[in-house]
Structure 1
């Protein structure tokens, strides 16, 4: 239940307004002027303030200014007398949520309060999302603590509140749609529709109708008027995935809609205004696509106000543990399983695989394993029989970003240098042999300090001891 503070210097008006607002289910308190109101805001922490514009000691505009200095989420509704529209506009300019004129219309006030309550809730949700990002490396559906993902999160946070177009690039399966959803969820449009359309999945003869809509009789089979994706996304966000697959004629029409904010349905005589934020995505190099004539240059420059490049999974392998755990939790809920996590052996295998299908391939692999296991920890036996056919990334490969924050800085310095931390592998080396060489080389670089070696390898001390026992037994047998 939202708390509403009434700031009004006239006693009868103050009491009557408080009783009216309380009758709608809000918790209310009152203050006789701006100075008292400021004290109540600091002590009682209301989410909404209804304040008169003209009051002794501190008026409504000064109170609004002081509230903004507190950096607290409060929606301020300004009450103005007839003929004070200029002051109301000034209040809106410096941060008021809305204004209402005297005598107060209860119906309009109730509507404003309902809208303000929703806005306060959305702002709180956004603040929680930002806090979660800083604490856990999670931004909506996106997960990652690597430098590349943190840079993407920071860019998304910065540009989400604006209405500018964004072009998201990256290989298939890297999470381009997830990035688009994060942009939408962090924007003022988050309560409106998010519509995604894959341009490559729609036949060329139908794509213009799908995107812009059509009138009845516009073409054979058009038996009724139909709204396109732009109208379905009104006041929200439209994702045009695989924009490079859109026919040239449709690209030209899209460019005009982006510039004029109006569209013409197929068969329509008049244009329809639209308010939509457009995000485009492609798995092609957009500049190469422009050079090849697949993407109009003027459309590319119009869409590419900001570019977000989603890196392939092989370039941020250190994010796999957190991504995999999140996927396991999701799959447990979806398939009614109770999988606890992954074994160290399986995790090492996942982090030394190039993932040509990127995060999408990882998700499919995890989902299959969770369904097979049902409960307990996922192990090597839960991987597909042909897993690894695409190759193996040696531990010294530059794409492998080993998580090192938990390793003491002094040890990182002693373990590096002198060129002793490189493991060279020949083509055809088995995974088990590569793992053995990595473990023994790490032990050598730490002067046989098993605790520190386990930290650097990202495995438990017990797992390291078991591996060393296996190598010793194999040596004895030989």
Structure 2
């Protein structure tokens, strides 16, 4: 019979990083994907420089781990492109060839580190842990102290959340109430609305704020590692398990586990997750001992959960277990009065990041932003503002700094009638009119005659005259 034991605080309390792995060797990509995912990070892979540039357009990677030698673009050249798009992006270059010259050039262009194969995975893990801690420290520095009382009246922010609309203030009131509870919560909102920030704020305002906040992207859990990521594993539990692995519940012990995109979690894993939530214990893969954990679970989805149940993307019993407290986050297009406040907030952050001196928005820029529908929500606004700050550098952001701020003058629509050359004679005009009408009618003489307002016999006679 399995023994039960209490677990202390997790050995690792690391928040996930968004990491892009770029390598043309499939085996290397698979190994890095497996290890990084096991360490709790959200991972995407690309097999070339072009694929990497396409990937960062939809996956805002905080860290890129790239081979120096790629089939279409060198790692150093890719580094330059990635740093221009987002200067604070961390790029780690790896190679099988310990070239000092390449390393110096890579460092000069902004590489954070230069690693040689075979990789020292212990050192890599420590490096990523440090990056995650530094990022979290920056995030917390921008927000009030955890648990600090916040007066919602007359303020435009709650922790990292910014806004001035009635919708946003209602959200803040709901967040504070949810934070007081320890029940599971479900956050619903479109992509880019800031569901993770809402979850972090709930954590920071609640009694678990001194514990870890562990985000997990349920859609990015790799097949074959589901049990290990959920439950943890012992050393030697399976091929490649050279060390014991800590599961997500152990990582979040004493704090909050945030399961993003829960409707995208594999159905088989959902059943195991439900069992763990019901029992309050995990049994690591390869172990006979059950470990009890103390974790609050907050889940999120960008889909209607009931529709996901109907489409069999989400188990109904898991939804009922998670949906104790519901938090709905409105899309930005439904609270346009928040756009100026959020934009100013991002201008301040972008000024610090890019050493710029932008002071605000011009009237035309604000009008352009306010008229935009923002399908990408706050994330899209953040990227637009950062781009504008990079281009403007100082003064105010005007409409010309926005991709949609100054629409190109529309070209006149091509004429739908038949255009006659200038100076054409009446006989030539008749010929052009008849032949073009016949062509547009698909050489159907009856249809052409109808359009011309003449009978078919007359049309045939005209065509004979034209030698057609």
Provide TM-score, normalisation by structure 2.
0.55
Helix, strand or coil at the partner of 1:334: helix
2:260 maps to which residue? Answer: 241
Q: What is the rounded CA distance, in whole Å, between the counterparts of 2:342 and 2:210 in structure 1?
A: 27
Quick check: 2:368–2:405 contact (8 Å CA) kept in 1? no
1:355 counterpart = 2:374: yes
Residue 134 of structure 1: how far off its partner (Å): 2.7
Q: What is the rounded CA distance, in whole Å, between the counterparts of 2:405 and 2:366 in structure 1?
A: 17
1:326 maps to which residue? Answer: 345
1:369 counterpart = 2:388: yes
Q: Equivalences for 1:303-322 in 2 at 5 Å?
A: 303-322=322-341
- The partner residue of 2:318 within 291, 299, 307 is 299
Distance verdict in 2 for CA 1:388–1:201, change over 3 Å: farther
Q: What is the rounded CA distance, in whole Å, between the counterparts of 1:281 and 1:156 in structure 2?
A: 14
Quick check: 1:237–1:279 contact (8 Å CA) kept in 2? yes
Q: Equivalences for 1:8-407 in 2 at 5 Å?
A: 125=145, 128-131=148-151, 133-384=152-403
Q: What is the rounded CA distance, in whole Å, between the counterparts of 2:249 and 2:229 in structure 1?
A: 9
Quick check: 1:289–1:295 contact (8 Å CA) kept in 2? yes
2:42 maps to which residue? Answer: none
How many residue pairs match? The answer is 266
Q: What is the rounded CA distance, in whole Å, between the counterparts of 1:211 and 1:345 in structure 2?
A: 50
Residue 217 of structure 1: how far off its partner (Å): 2.0
Residue 372 of structure 1: how far off its partner (Å): 1.1
Quick check: 1:262–1:273 contact (8 Å CA) kept in 2? yes
Residue 320 of structure 1: how far off its partner (Å): 0.4
Q: What is the rounded CA distance, in whole Å, between the counterparts of 1:301 and 1:243 in structure 2?
A: 13
Helix, strand or coil at the partner of 1:272: strand
Q: What is the rounded CA distance, in whole Å, between the counterparts of 2:335 and 2:224 in structure 1?
A: 40
Extract unaligned runs of 5+ from structure 2: 1-143, 414-468
Provide TM-score, normalisation by structure 1.
0.53
> What is the CA deviation profile of residues 360-382 of structure 1, one whole-angstrom value per residue up to 9, with x for unaligned ones?
10000001011111111011121
Residue 247 of structure 1: how far off its partner (Å): 1.3
Quick check: 1:129–1:140 contact (8 Å CA) kept in 2? no
Helix, strand or coil at the partner of 2:371: coil
Residue 338 of structure 1: how far off its partner (Å): 1.1
> What is the CA deviation profile of residues 56-99 of structure 1, one whole-angstrom value per residue up to 9, with x for unaligned ones?
xxxxxxxxxxxxxxxxxxxxxxxxxxxxxxxxxxxxxxxxxxxx
Q: What is the rounded CA distance, in whole Å, between the counterparts of 1:229 and 1:387 in structure 2?
A: 47
Residue 192 of structure 1: how far off its partner (Å): 1.2
Q: What is the rounded CA distance, in whole Å, between the counterparts of 1:347 and 1:385 in structure 2?
A: 12
Quick check: 2:215–2:260 contact (8 Å CA) kept in 1? yes
Residue 128 of structure 1: how far off its partner (Å): 4.1
Q: What is the rounded CA distance, in whole Å, between the counterparts of 1:171 and 1:261 in structure 2?
A: 30
Q: What is the rounded CA distance, in whole Å, between the counterparts of 1:388 and 1:229 in structure 2?
A: 48
Quick check: 1:165–1:278 contact (8 Å CA) kept in 2? yes
Residue 139 of structure 1: how far off its partner (Å): 1.0
Helix, strand or coil at the partner of 1:307: strand
Q: What is the rounded CA distance, in whole Å, between the counterparts of 1:292 and 1:267 in structure 2?
A: 34
Helix, strand or coil at the partner of 1:136: coil
Quick check: 1:353–1:388 contact (8 Å CA) kept in 2? no
Q: What is the rounded CA distance, in whole Å, between the counterparts of 1:238 and 1:271 in structure 2?
A: 19
Helix, strand or coil at the partner of 1:197: strand
Residue 142 of structure 1: how far off its partner (Å): 1.0
**Higher RCO, 1 vs 2 (CA within 8 Å, ≥6 residues apart):** 2
Quick check: 1:340–1:377 contact (8 Å CA) kept in 2? yes
> What is the CA deviation profile of residues 146-204 of structure 1, one whole-angstrom value per residue up to 9, with x for unaligned ones?
12211111111011021100001111001100100110010011111111011112212
Residue 388 of structure 1: how far off its partner (Å): 7.5
Helix, strand or coil at the partner of 2:358: strand
Q: What is the rounded CA distance, in whole Å, between the counterparts of 2:369 and 2:405 in structure 1?
A: 14
Helix, strand or coil at the partner of 2:259: strand
